[in-house]
Each structure stands twice: as structure tokens, then as C-alpha cells.
Amino acid sequence: MKQTVLIADEGYEAAAADLAEQFPDLNLVCADDSSAAGSLASGDVAGLIAGAAAVDEALLSGLPSLRAVLKLGRSYHNIDVDAVRGRGLEFACVPRKGPNCVAELALTLILALSKDLVINNEAVSLGAYRYRGLKPEITAERKMAFHWMHNMRVHEVVGKTLGIIGMGEIGCELARRASVMGMRNLYYKRSPLSDELESLFDASYAELDALLAESDYVCVATPHTPQTEGMIGAEQIALMKESAYIVNIARGGIIDEDAMIEALSENRIAGAGLDVFTYEPLPAESPLCALDNVILCPHIGGGTGTNRNIELGAGLAEMSRILAG
């Protein structure tokens, strides 16, 4: 017997139709631009899947046979967890591929900057040891040319503070990874997370100016909107430590690129890891291309790509398992 699953966010209708054959045990009902989730609520619904849609007492009250609530993504800020738990419902989350991919790149850039990886690779491949008067010698357990280029920018990230601007799914996934690396997480967003989610992602709220002043790494992970256009300008960059790095995996227009280039050129900040730019592809004549304290990527944060089929498919697979016991 099929069990009905309500997908509360509009925009998943095509994905649900594509995936229906893969989940013959589920009857998929989707909200769309003409039918909100509340209007589709019924006593037949056993499972509820939500991405950004609000799951509140009003919606839950229309689902008397509901057994499980599933969040697409780990940050369940849109779920009334007290109402869900008060009903004794199963409550689960599945990570989304897109935010995971971008968070991986953000952490990769942080680690690469901490080891000055691009410059060190170049130094080895070009044989720069010769300029230090060194000669290659065979190594042994206790005989090696440790740190032979004496790169003074190399450091560890453990104990460093990461400031995340924009604590959506990407920011939350990045915080989880940075915490494992021993970093302290600060975040800024318009509406702070609940205490429960702050604990889950091991992150503390800070006002933007405080975050910029305290962080060793600042990662921009907020959407590009009229409100965030140029939100990190010369005034904000001036608040950062000289030893701090900026990482942008969001959109180029959020940072005043000229102000950032000036600060990087004058060593008023230590470096940057950039996957996004004001113009893309990055113009060959951009001053960023000539800086040795910057790591540049060709907007690869999305990894191998994702779509609603992939993310909804992961959610349906988990919901099918839950409903099957």
C-alpha cells in the first residue's frame, strides 16, 4: 500500500514526477504556485518533506496521520521543532549536495591559504631552493630539509576564528567542517539561529563589525541581493586584522573588489581565496592575477553540479526508510 508524502515547497513538481517510478511505495503530493502545502494537507499524509517552507502548528494540525517530518538540508530554522516533537513525530534531516559542495571548497581554500599552497607548489616546481644556496641530498628518517623555503605565511587553523557571513545551508555546513578542524566559529545573519542550531553547528552569533575584527578567516556565504551588494567594502575590510584572510564562495558583487585588491596589495589583510568575482570569467588583466597572496578558482564551488532531482531523491530515499520502519 502506498503512503502519501507531502512536499511542502513549490518547484519540486517536475522532480517528483521524474522520481515517482523509483519510489513505488510512495504517493507524492507537491505544493505548487497555485496550491500551498496547507491546502494539500489531509488525513492521508504520512510523511512531510520541507526545504525552505515553514512547518508550523497550523500546517501540522491539518495532518492528523503524519508520522515523519524530513528537512532537506541540515539547518531546520524553518521547522517548529517544539510542535513536531510535541506530536511525537519522527524528525530527520538530509544534507543537500549543493551546500556541501560549496562548503567543501570554502574549507579547501582556508586550508590552502593556511599552507600558502600555491606559492609553495611553485617554489618546489621551479627549484627555488637554488636561490637559498641549497643542494638536494638524499633523505633519511632523521635527515631531511624541513621547511626548506622558510615560508613564513604557513600556519595551522586549529584555534583560529572563522567568521561566516550568511549562515544558511552553506554556512552551516562550513561551520560543521571548521569545528572538526578545531576552529572557533562566529556567524552573522539578519536573524540569529536558535540556541539549538547554534549548538548543533558549534557557532556563536556576532554583529558584523565584531565578526570582522575578531576573525582570522572571514568567509562570505550570503546570497547576493540588493541589500548585500557591496556589503564588504573598504570600511569593513579596514576592520579586519592584518593577519586575516577573506574567502568568497558566494558572489563577487558582495565584496567591493577594488577595495579588496587595494588591501591585499598593501598587505593590510594577509590574503584571499576567491571562487567568485565581479566579472566572470575573471578578466586576464585583473590585478588579482598578479598577487601572490591570493588563490583563484574559476567558480567551481558547485562541484559536479546538483539539481532538484538529486536533492529530492535523497530526501525521498530517507523518508521511504523511515516510513518502512
Please determine, for residue 131, whether its predicted confidence score (pLDDT) is greater than 90. Answer: yes
Per-residue three-class SS string for the chain: CCEEEEECCCCCHHHHHHHHHHCCCEEEEECCCCCCHHHHCCCCEEEEEECCCCECHHHHHCCCCCCEEEEECCCCCCECHHHHHHCCCEEEEECCHHHHHHHHHHHHHHHHHHCCHHHHHHHHHCCHHHHHCCCCCCCECCECCCCCCCCCCCCCCCCCEEEEECCCHHHHHHHHHHHHCCCEEEEECCCCCCHHHHHHCCEEECCHHHHHHHCCEEEECCCCCCCCCCCECHHHHCCCCCCCEEEECCCHHHECHHHHHHHHHCCCCCEEEECCCCCCCCCCCCHHHHCCCEEECCCCCCCCCCCHHHHHHHHHHHHHHHHCC
For residue 199, name the pLDDT band (cuts at 50, 70, 90). Answer: very high
Is the model's pLDDT at 167 over the cut of 90?
yes
Q: Give mean pLDDT, residues 7-24.
A: 97
Instruction: Determine which one of 87, 224, 268, 299 is catalytic.
Output: 299
Catalytic-residue membership of 251: yes
What percent of the chain is modeled with pLDDT above 70? 100
77 included as an active-site residue:
no
What whole-number percentage of the chain has pLDDT above 90?
Answer: 100
* 194: pLDDT strictly greater than 90: yes
Q: Per-residue pLDDT for 1 more than 90?
A: no
Q: What is the mean pLDDT of residues 92-117?
A: 98
Q: Is residue 229 flagged as an active site residue?
A: no
pTM exceeds cut of 0.85: yes
Catalytic residue among 57, 207, 280, 321: 280
Catalytic residue among 176, 251, 257, 318: 251
